[in-house]
């Protein structure tokens, strides 16, 4: 299994890091078999699996369920799980309890937390306790209420400079990697160059040390809006719809099940019992 040292070495060797989200066993298995370097059990599960319109309602129990499933599907892949909204903004012993469950019960390797300020203190304390932490800056979806929507971050000189300072602080606080979401590619390039730790981009252009996308976006397992930064490699939803329509049609017309799908008993017994 890869580890934080592997990801650092990949950056040093200019070997791009491919991260992919997964929330269940078959997706995690597919991701691992496709050769992703690490899996993110993201709280985007709240949106793409649970049908919420933000990540705010996602709970620790949700993340534990998704993490356990992903772990079983990809037993040999490094997994990082998102700490959900408000599980790292207050009492540190609550944060520790959440992390303990994720690492000990669900068996993931690391956690990801969003934001700056007090988040850096949390990164420092968790890292000191032996927990690998991935930072997440730029568009931080758990703060959608404060940001006022899902918008590109760091576009002005002042905002860009602030983001650079935060990225440096994230590294100083001990994060082993940084996710940069929805920032101009020039800024993401600059931050990737000045940091020692790997920068994994989403909507951050082609010059970061790695990329991450949401599984459902990549395979097209969604009917909804596809963000500009997504490259969709398939349209699984249309395949699923076609399959389900075929099933309903066959049941209604009586052409499913066929003889080959049925179980039988000894002919003589059947005749004796039922004529
Ligand atoms: O929850 C998630 O999928 C994420 C990625 C978009 C980085 O945090
Ligand atoms: Na997330």
Three-state secondary structure of 46-111: HHHCCCCCCCCCCCHHHHHHHHHHHHHHCCCCCEEEECCCCCCCCCHHHHHHHHHHHHHHCCCCEE
pLDDT single digits (tens) 120-179:
999 999 999 999 999 999 999 999 999 999 999 999 999 999 999 999 999 999 999 999
One domain for residues 244 and 174: no
pLDDT for residue 182 is more than 80: yes
How many domains are contained in the chain?
Answer: 2
One domain for residues 186 and 60: yes
Q: What is the CATH number of the domain that holds 123?
A: 3.20.20.60
One domain for residues 226 and 254: no
Mutate to test the pocket of ligand 1, among 18, 46, 112, 218 (most ligand atoms within 8 A of CB): 112
Ligand 1 near 21 CB (within 6 A) = yes
Distance of alpha carbon 192 from alpha carbon 199, whole angstroms: 6
Q: What is the CA radius of gyration of the chain?
A: 23
Dihedral (Cα; 226, 82, 210, 125), 10-degree rounding: 150
One domain for residues 192 and 261: no
**For residue 44, how far is its CA from the centre of ligand 2 (angstroms)?**
5
Annotated binding site for 3-methyl-2-oxobutanoate: 43-44, 82, 112
One domain for residues 266 and 196: no
**For residue 182, how far is its CA from the centre of ligand 1 (angstroms)?**
11
Our separate counts of H helices and E strands in the chain read: 12, 8
pLDDT single digits (tens) 185-194:
999 999 999 9
pLDDT single digits (tens) 244-272:
999 999 999 999 999 999 999 999 999 99
Q: What is the CA 239 to chain-centroid distance, rounded?
A: 23
Measured from the Cα of 43, ligand 1's closest atom is 1
**For residue 158, how far is its CA from the centre of ligand 2 (angstroms)?**
25
Number of other residues whose CB lies within 10 A of the CB of residue 172: 11
Q: Which of 5, 57, 40, 12 is nearest to 196 (CA)?
A: 12
Going by the DSSP 8-state scheme, the letter that residue 143 receives in this structure is: G
One domain for residues 152 and 268: no
Q: Which domain holds residue 76?
A: 4-234
One domain for residues 53 and 172: yes
| Catalytic center residues | 181
One domain for residues 150 and 257: no
One domain for residues 159 and 206: yes
pLDDT at 51: 95
One domain for residues 125 and 245: no
Instruction: Read off the pLDDT band of 27 (50, 70, 90).
Output: very high
Residue nearest to atom 5 of ligand 1 (CA): 42
One domain for residues 125 and 244: no
Expressed in percent and rounded to 5, the helix, strand and coil fractions of the chain are: 45, 15, 40
Question: Could you tell me the pTM of the whole model?
Answer: 0.97
pLDDT for residue 225 is more than 90: no
């Amino acid at each position: 299994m890869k580890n934080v040292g592997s990801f650092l070495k990949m950056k040093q060797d200019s070997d791009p890091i491919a991260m992919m989200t997964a929330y269940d066993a078959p997706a995690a298995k597919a991701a691992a078999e496709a050769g992703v370097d690490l899996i993110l059990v993201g709280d985007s599960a709240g949106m793409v699996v649970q049908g919420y319109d933000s990540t705010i309602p996602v709970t620790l129990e949700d993340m534990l369920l998704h993490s356990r499933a992903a772990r079983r599907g990809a037993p040999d892949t490094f997994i990082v799980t998102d700490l959900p909204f408000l599980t790292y903004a207050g009492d540190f012993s609550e944060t520790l309890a959440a992390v303990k469950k994720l690492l000990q019960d669900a068996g993931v390797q690391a956690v990801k937390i969003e934001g700056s300020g007090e988040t850096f203190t949390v990164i420092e304390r968790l890292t000191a306790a032996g927990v690998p932490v991935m930072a997440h800056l730029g568009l931080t979806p758990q703060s959608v209420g404060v940001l006022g929507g899902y918008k590109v971050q760091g576009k002005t000189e002042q905002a860009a400079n602030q983001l650079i300072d935060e990225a440096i602080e994230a590294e100083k606080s001990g994060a082993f990697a940084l996710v940069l979401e929805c920032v101009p590619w020039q800024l993401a390039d600059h931050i990737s160059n000045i940091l020692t730790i790997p920068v994994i981009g989403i909507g951050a252009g082609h010059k970061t040390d790695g990329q991450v996308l949401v599984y459902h976006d990549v395979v097209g397992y969604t009917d909804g809006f596809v963000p500009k930064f997504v490259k969709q490699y398939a349209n699984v939803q249309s395949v699923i719809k076609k399959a389900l329509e075929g099933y309903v049609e066959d049941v209604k017309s009586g052409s499913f099940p066929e003889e080959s799908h049925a179980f039988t008993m000894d002919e003589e017994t059947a005749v004796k019992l039922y004529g």
